[in-house]
Amino acid sequence: MATKAILVTGGAGYIGSHTVLQLLVSGFKTVVIDNLNNSSEIAMRRVKELAGEFGNNLSFHKVDLRDKPALMQIFDTTMFEAVIHFSGLKAVGESVQKPLLYYNNNLIGTITLLEVMAAHGCKNLVFSSSATVYGWPKEVPCTEESPLSALNPYGRTKLFIEEICRDIYRADPEWKMILLRYFNPIGAHPSGYIGEDPHGVPNNLMPFIQQVAVGKRPVLTVFGNDYNTVDGTGVRDYIHVVDLAEGHIAALHKLEDSKIGYEVFNLGTGKGTSVFQMVAAFEKASGKKIPLVIADRRPGDAEIVYASTEKAERELNWKAKYSIDDMCRDQWNWVSKNPYGYESPESNNNNADNGCYT
Ligand code: NAD
Ligand code: UDP
């Protein structure tokens, strides 16, 4: 049987790089496109190395998703079984300041991709949606049927793309679309060789803790300790990025099911963890003290968000395996080996370039 080729947009990024590794070791030929706006080509080189003999099945193109001629050329040369679409801008605060940037990048990028897929008869898509589409949930756990609302332009791009996909499927039921609503991915590959390396000031809790732990920032600001939760701090459903990556392999297998059309799945653990609980778990894993200051609630932040995982367990045959302690252990392993991410002086980055390779 010929090796199946999968196109991964945004595959050099945090979740993308972990998923590309899983794809390679699962035997898929994997073509990545990424403009490296929030990632490093070094991640791709490391994925290739980690994949061992399967690494030869990886190719990378530094391409912006909105560059239609470049995308057409990639589809002209390879027949793709499916596309996993990660690429997009994801910083909530920045999306409030620069809504046009977010609408342009995330919506135009996705529309361009869908047009090129349609033109090449590739109608199988797995899309990175987000728990952000549940807004401030009235009830937890969030099920795939829970009411949707977006609290900022980033969230609206996810909602709009979900709707765009639904309309395309309604118009042409040959499409198979799986939309994965991720909860809060953290952690890193247990090798400590790939992980999250955000450019600029991190928005999210774990990358911020990580930067405090290595002395890059002096203190973690806790946004609110007056929520109606176990200790007053916000509660989220943190999921190990390797579990998340495996969820994508499960989704690809699901696309082979002839009955699948347009389906949405939560990818979370179903468990909530507060900010203080997360800090304590990270301190235990790292042996580092994380200095804290308490500040006001962050505007737009929900109190408690966690997933109902029943649908994914039942229909994707997938369940998250890793605990919070595992997530913190692997996060610390990554950050202690790469305190400044892929640009750490310790890293062997000499052979990085910005071109294409196979
Ligand atoms: P990331 O920023 O690490 O990865 C996204 C990648 O897309 C980056 O490598 C970036 O360079 C690339 N990219 C952005 N715009 C592009 C464009 N126009 N053309 C080509 N490449 C482009 O982010 P991530 O955490 O890996 O997130 C992946 C996806 O999952 C995103 O769509 C994000 O919105 C979604 N998501 C992330 C989280 C999270 O907390 N990390 C939660 C829910 C959903
Ligand atoms: N948080 C915090 N300080 C930070 C970043 C986040 O206290 O520097 C809190 C935030 O208020 C929320 C939780 O940590 O309760 C998770 O925030 P994150 O941005 O990681 O995820 P999201 O809110 O988007 O689900």
Q: How far is the CA of 1 from the centre of ligand 1 (A)?
A: 32
Total count of residues recorded for the chain: 358
The whole-chain average pLDDT of the chain stands at 94
From 18, 38, 100, the mutation candidate for ligand 1 (largest count of ligand atoms within 8 A of CB) is 38
Measured from the alpha carbon of residue 11, the closest ligand is 1
Q: How far is the CA of 79 from the centre of ligand 1 (A)?
A: 24
Measured from the alpha carbon of residue 303, the closest ligand is 2
What distance in Å separates the CA atoms of residue 319 and residue 277, rounded to the nearest whole number?
A: 23
What distance in Å separates the CA atoms of residue 321 and residue 261, rounded to the nearest whole number?
A: 27
Question: Any idea where the domains of the chain sit in the sequence?
Answer: 5-337
Q: Which of 14, 154, 182, 193 is catalytic?
A: 154
82-136 pLDDT tens trace? 999 999 999 998 999 999 999 999 999 999 999 999 999 999 999 999 999 999 9
From 18, 19, 37, the mutation candidate for ligand 1 (largest count of ligand atoms within 8 A of CB) is 37
What distance in Å separates the CA atoms of residue 244 and residue 247, rounded to the nearest whole number?
A: 5
| Res. 201: pLDDT tops 90 | no
Nearest CA to ligand 2 atom 19: 204
| Res. 243: pLDDT tops 70 | yes
**CB of 45 closer than 8 Å to CB of 21:** no
pLDDT at 346: 56
What distance in Å separates the CA atoms of residue 266 and residue 264, rounded to the nearest whole number?
A: 7
pLDDT grade for 198, boundaries at 50, 70 and 90: confident
pLDDT at 1: 44
Measured from the alpha carbon of residue 93, the closest ligand is 2
Atom index in ligand 2 nearest the CA of residue 295 equals: 7
Q: How far is the CA of 231 from the centre of ligand 1 (A)?
A: 31
Which residue, among 169, 156, 161, 199, has the nearest Cα to 43 in the 3D structure?
Answer: 199
Mean pLDDT throughout 58-66? 98
**CB of 287 closer than 8 Å to CB of 328:** no
Nearest CA to ligand 1 atom 30: 128
| Res. 351: pLDDT tops 80 | no
From 62, 87, 278, the mutation candidate for ligand 1 (largest count of ligand atoms within 8 A of CB) is 87
Atom index in ligand 1 nearest the CA of residue 182 equals: 43
Determine what percent of the chain is predicted with pLDDT higher than 90: 91
**Domain 5-337 classified CATH 3.30.450.370?**
no
284-301 pLDDT tens trace? 999 999 999 999 999 889
Q: How far is CA 42 from the centre of its chain?
A: 18
Classify 222 as helix, strand or coil. Answer: strand
Amino acid residing at 345 = P
Rg of the chain, C-alpha, whole Å: 19
| Res. 347: pLDDT tops 70 | no
pLDDT at 323: 98
Q: Model pTM?
A: 0.96
Active site residue 154: yes
Q: Sort strands 124-130 and 176-182 into parallel, antiparallel or unpaired.
A: parallel
Atom index in ligand 2 nearest the CA of residue 222 equals: 7
| Res. 261: pLDDT tops 50 | yes
